[in-house]
Structure 1
Amino acid sequence: MTGQHAGPRTGPGVSAGPGPARASRARRHAAYPYALYLPAAVVYLVIFLVPTVMAFYFALTRWTLFDSTFVGLDNFRDFLSEQNLRIGFANTLFYAVVTSGLKVVLGLLLGVLLTGKLRLRGFLRSVVFFPVLVSTVAVGITFSALLRPDTGLVNKALAVIGIDGPDWLGDANTALLSVALVDVWKGVGIATVIYIAGILSIPRDYYQAVAVDGGGAWHRFRHVTLPLSWPATYSVIILSFIGGLRSFDLIWTMTRGGPGFTSDTIASIIYKQYQAGFFGLSTAGNVLLFIVVTAIVVPLNYFLGKRQVAA
C-alpha cells in the first residue's frame, strides 16, 4: 500500500544476516593465517631484532663479558679515526664490485651454456656448483698453498710456458684481486643456478619467433635471453654485492689483511679490534658496517627493482 514502508523480509529462504556464530567463524578464519606467522616472527625477533638492538646499545659502551661502561659516541669516533679505515673502505667497495660483476658475467655465460643441448649437462652443473659446498676456510687454505710464489702450483704452471708468476698474496698490487678471484670461483655456482632457473622459465615461444625471423644464437641471446633473464641478474647482483661488502672469512684466511693493511676490508679491521680486546670498538664497527651496507644496498635495490618492473 502507498505510504507504508515494507519491513525486513523474513522467511525460510531469506538470510537473517550474520549472527554471532557466523561472526565468530569469520574471526577464526581471519586470524588463522596470522598464526602461521608466529614461528617465523619469533625466530626473526630472537635471531635478528634482539641482537641488533643489543649491538646498537653495546656500541655505546666499553664492555667485557661481565661488565660494561656507557661511553656514548666515543667508540664511533675512535673507529672512524682508524688510520687504515679509508683503505679498508676502498678495498671493501672494490672487492664487492669485482666479485659481484664477475659472478653476473660468468654466471650468465655458464647458465646459457648449461641450459643448452650438452650431453654431460647434468654432470657439468654439478661440477660448477661443487665449490659452493666446500668450506670457505678450506678453500682459502688450499688456494694459499696453490698461490705460493716458489712452491705453488699456479706459478709452476706459468713457469712451464715461460712466465715468471708474481707473489700473488704477498704483493700489495695482486693480493686483494687474487682473493676476489678465488671468491668468484667459489661463489659463481650460486649465480649459475639462479641463471639456469631464470633462463628455463623463459617461454620457448620467444626463441621460436627469433628462429622464424632468421635469427641465430647471438640474436636469441641478445633479444630474448639477456632481457628476459633480468630478474635473475637482479637477484645475483644484490646477493653478490651484499656478500662482497660483508666478506671476511676468505680474506682473513688467505692474507690476514696483508701485506701490511693493503687487503684489509672493513670486516677484517673490525676483527682486528676484537682480537685486541676492544669489544666496544669492534661492536661500533659492526654497527657502522651495517649502516654502510644498508645505505648502499637499499638505493641499489630500489634502482634495480624499478628497472626490473620497467623491463
Structure 2
Amino acid sequence: MVTSVTPSQTRTTGPRGDAGAGRPTRKQARSGGARNLRARTYSYWFYAPAAVIYGLIFLVPTVIAFYYSLTRWTLFDSEFIGLDNFRQFFSEQSLVSGLKNTLIYAVLTSGLKVVLGMLFAVLLTGPIRSRGLLRSVVFFPVLVSTVAVGITFSVLLQPDFGLVATVLSKVGITSPDWLGDPSLALLSVALVDVWKGVGLATLIYIAGILAIPKDYYEAVDVDGGNAWTKFRNITLPLARPATFTVILLSLIGGLRSFDLIWTMTGGGPGFSSDVIASVIYKQYQAGFYGLATAGNVVLFVMVSLIIFPLFRYFNSKEVES
C-alpha cells in the first residue's frame, strides 16, 4: 500500500531528523550579514583616493572662493564686507553685456559643434578613401594651443592684409573688419572656436556611430531604404548618448571660454565681445580681487544652474530609451 503525503505534511529533516535543519541558524545569518557588511565597507575604501583628490582640487578651493567673495582682500590681508562685492558686480554695465555675450557664445558654439560634428562623423565613418587621414585633419586643431590659434586668426582676419581679405578681394568682395566691428567680433571668435573644437565633437560622434550594430543598417538595406533613412531612423536616435556628451562638454566650454576671446579681441571693441570670464580677468588686472572672486562665484553658479538640469534631463532620456 502506498501512503500519499500532502505538501503540508512534508518537511526538511537533517541528519538527526530535525525539522528545518537545512535553513541557516540565527547565528549563521548574523555571521553572514557581518561578512557582507565588512565586504561593502572595504569596497568603499577604493573611493578614498578619488575623494581626497576631488576634495583638494575642487571642494576646498570652492569653499575658499565663496568665503573670499564676501571680503575685500589683498595678498596680505582681508576684510569681511558681506554681499557688497556681488552688488557692485551686478551694477557693472560690462556684466550685463558680458552675461548676454556668454550665453550667445555658448549656445552658438555648442549648436554648431553638434551639427558639424555629427555631419563630419557620418562622412568619416562612411565608405570614403583616406578616412584615417581625414579624421586626423579634422581632429588636429584640437591639439593646437588656443593662444596660438587666436594669434594666427587675428592675423588672418585683418581687413587690410589678412589672408581672408586677400582671398575675398580676388573675387571683388571687400572684407569687413571681422574683429573691429562690434556686430561681427563675437561671431568671428565663435566661428574660430568651432573650427578648433569640432574635431573633439567629431571624435565622440565617430565612437558613438561605430558602436551601433551593423545589423540595423543591413536591415534597412533589405527593406530598400536609402542613406537618409539610415541616418534618420538609426544613426540619429542611437547616437543620442554621444549627442548628449557633445552638448554638455561644448556648453561648459562655451560658458567658461576666455583664452581665445582674450587673445583675439581682448573683449573689444568696447564691450561687444566681453564675456563673464573676461570681465573677471579685467577686475583681477585692476586689483579688485574680492570683486573678481565674486565674479568667479557668479560664473560657477550660472554654469551649475545650466549644466546640472541638462545632465539630469539627458540621463532620464537615456534611461527611457
Q: TM-score, normalised by structure 2?
A: 0.89
Q: How does 1:1-311 map to 2 (within 5 A)?
A: 17-18=27-28, 26-311=36-321
Partners of 1:298 and 1:145 in 2: how far apart?
38
- SS at the partner of 1:84? helix
Cα deviation per residue 1:64-122 (whole Å; 9 max; x = unaligned)? 11100000000000000001211111100110011000000000001101111222111
Are 1:207 and 1:224, in contact at CA under 8 Å, matched by a contact in 2? yes
Q: TM-score, normalised by structure 1?
A: 0.92
Partners of 2:35 and 2:168 in 1: how far apart?
75
Partners of 2:158 and 2:70 in 1: how far apart?
42
Are 1:10 and 1:16, in contact at CA under 8 Å, matched by a contact in 2? no
| Alignment size in residue pairs | 306
Paired AA for residue 227 in structure 1: P
User: Shift in Å at residue 225 of structure 1?
Assistant: 0.5
What RMSD in Å do the two structures reach over aligned CA positions? Answer: 2.3
Structure 2 unaligned blocks of 5 or more: 1-15
Are 1:132 and 1:186, in contact at CA under 8 Å, matched by a contact in 2? yes
Cα deviation per residue 1:19-48 (whole Å; 9 max; x = unaligned)? 998777545432222121111000000000
- SS at the partner of 2:79? strand
Partners of 2:123 and 2:208 in 1: how far apart?
13
Paired AA for residue 319 in structure 2: V
Share of identical aligned residues, percent? 66
Are 1:234 and 1:308, in contact at CA under 8 Å, matched by a contact in 2? no
- SS at the partner of 1:173? coil
Partners of 1:30 and 1:76 in 2: how far apart?
45
CA 10–275 in structure 1, closer or farther in 2 if over 3 Å, else same = same
Partners of 1:205 and 1:20 in 2: how far apart?
51
- SS at the partner of 2:114? helix
Paired AA for residue 118 in structure 1: I
Structure 1 unaligned blocks of 5 or more: 1-5
